[in-house]
C-alpha cells in the first residue's frame, strides 16, 4: 500500500479509502468484518462511513457494524483513520424532530457527533465531514460547533462533502477569521464520466490545501467493465442497463483501451484518479472480498500522457478549470 497526506494536514492515509455504504444493506455483518480485517491486512487504513448509511431512519446501521468490529479489539480502532459524516436526516421512524432533519445547525452537529461516537464505540473521530452544504446555516455557527468538538477531543480534523468551489472558499475564509484550520478535505462525486468538479471544486481544493476524496470512482459500476459483465450474462438494474445503452459507444472504446493496456477497466478508472495531484484517496465500496482485493492493482499503474489523452477523448472533461474552460 502507498500512503499520502490528507490535504495540507500531517495525517497519513492510504491511497485507497474503504467505503462502508454497502455494510448492512448489501453485505452481512460477518462479511463486513472480514472485509475490514482484510483491508487492514492490505494496508488500507482509511475507512469512510456516515450516520445515515444503512438507510433505516435514524438508526445508523452501518456505524453500529463498525462499532462492533472495533469492539473486538486487536488495535483495530487505533489502526484506522476513521471518517464519518453529518447532515442527513436522522429522525427515527414515526418521529418528527425538525432539528434532526437535514442540516448543519450547531445543535445537530453536536448531537449527531455524540450519537456517532456511541454507535462507533469510539471516543474520537479522525475526520468529521459535513455530508452536504447547508446554506441556511451561517458558517460562524457551524465552526463554533466544530471548534467545540475539537477542543473536547471528540474530533481531530474537519472535512466537507458535496460542496461547491465557492462553498469551500466561504468556509475557509470564515475559519481563517476565527483562527481555526477549517477544512482539510472535500469528498466529491468524481470519475472519468463525471468531471464537473474540475471546473471549480478541484482548483479550490488545490488553492486551500484540501485533499479530494472521490466518491463513486467507478460511476456506479459503469467504469468497472460493464459491457464485459453484460456479455457474460451479468445484468444490472433497469437504470444501470439504460446508462450502459446511453454510453455504449464510449464504453466500447474504453474497455478496448483497457484491454490494449492489459489492465481491467476498474483499475484504469482508479489509476486515472490517483494521478491527479488534487486527489488524496478514492473511495472503494466493496460488497465482496473479491472486489476489495481486486482494486489494489490500481495503485501500481502509471498512465502515460498518450493514454491520458486517449481517456480525455473517450470521456471528455469540461476543458480544464474555470474560467479558461469556457472563456479566454
pLDDT tens for each residue of 25-47: 999 999 999 999 999 999 999 99
Asked whether residue 233 is assigned to any structural domain, the reply reads no
Indicate whether 257 belongs to any domain.
Answer: no
Number of domains the chain is built from: 1
Residue 169's CATH number: 3.20.20.100
Give residue-wise pLDDT tens across range 131-185. 999 999 999 999 999 999 999 999 999 999 999 999 999 999 999 999 999 999 9
Q: Which residues are catalytic?
A: 53
Residue 238 lies in a domain: no
The verdict on residue 53 lying in a domain is yes
What pLDDT, on a 0 to 100 scale, did the predictor assign at position 118? 98
Within-domain flag for 327: no
Domain that holds residue 57: 3-220+266-297
Residue 205 lies in a domain: yes
Residue 140 grid coordinates: 460562524
282: number of Cβ within 10 Å: 27
DSSP class per residue in 26-39: TB-HHHHHHHHHHH
- Is pLDDT above 90 for 250? yes
Q: Is residue 307 part of a domain?
A: no
Burial class (CB in 10 A: 0-12, 13-18, 19+), 181: middle
In a domain, 190, yes or no: yes
Amino acid at each position: 500500500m502507498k500512503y499520502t497526506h490528507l490535504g495540507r494536514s500531517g495525517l497519513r492515509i492510504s491511497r485507497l479509502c474503504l467505503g462502508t455504504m454497502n455494510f448492512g444493506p448489501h453485505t452481512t455483518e460477518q462479511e463486513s468484518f472480514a472485509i475490514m480485517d482484510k483491508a487492514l491486512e492490505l494496508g488500507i487504513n482509511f475507512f469512510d462511513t456516515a450516520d445515515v448509511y444503512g438507510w433505516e431512519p435514524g438508526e445508523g446501521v452501518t456505524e453500529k457494524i463498525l462499532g462492533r468490529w472495533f469492539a473486538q479489539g486487536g488495535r483495530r480502532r487505533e489502526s484506522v483513520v476513521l471518517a464519518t459524516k453529518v447532515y442527513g436526516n436522522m429522525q427515527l421512524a414515526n418521529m418528527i424532530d425538525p432539528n434532526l432533519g437535514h442540516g448543519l445547525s450547531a445543535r445537530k452537529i453536536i448531537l449527531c457527533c455524540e450519537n456517532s461516537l456511541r454507535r462507533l464505540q469510539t471516543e474520537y473521530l479522525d475526520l468529521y465531514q459535513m455530508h452536504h452544504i447547508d446554506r441556511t446555516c451561517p458558517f460562524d455557527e457551524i465552526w463554533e460547533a466544530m471548534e467545540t468538538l475539537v477542543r473536547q477531543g471528540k474530533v481531530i480534523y474537519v472535512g466537507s462533502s458535496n460542496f461547491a468551489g465557492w462553498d469551500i472558499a466561504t468556509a475557509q475564509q470564515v475559519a481563517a477569521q476565527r483562527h481555526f484550520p477549517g477544512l482539510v478535505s472535500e469528498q466529491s462525486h468524481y470519475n472519468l464520466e463525471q468531471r464537473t468538479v474540475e471546473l471549480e471544486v478541484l482548483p479550490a481544493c488545490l488553492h486551500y490545501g484540501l485533499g479530494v476524496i472521490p466518491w463513486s470512482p467507478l460511476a456506479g459500476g459503469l467504469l468497472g467493465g460493464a459491457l464485459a459483465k453484460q456479455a457474460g450474462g451479468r445484468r444490472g438494474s433497469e437504470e444501470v442497463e439504460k446508462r450502459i445503452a446511453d454510453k455504449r459507444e464510449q464504453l466500447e472504446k474504453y474497455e478496448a483501451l483497457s484491454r490494449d493496456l492489459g489492465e481491467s477497466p476498474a483499475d484504469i478508472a482508479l489509476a486515472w484518479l490517483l494521478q491527479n495531484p488534487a486527489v488524496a484517496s478514492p473511495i472503494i465500496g466493496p460488497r465482496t472480498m473479491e472486489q476489495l482485493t481486486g482494486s489494489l492493482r490500481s495503485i501500481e499503474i502509471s498512465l502515460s500522457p498518450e493514454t491520458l489523452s486517449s481517456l480525455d477523448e473517450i470521456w471528455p472533461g469540461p476543458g480544464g478549470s474555470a474560467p479558461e474552460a469556457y472563456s479566454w
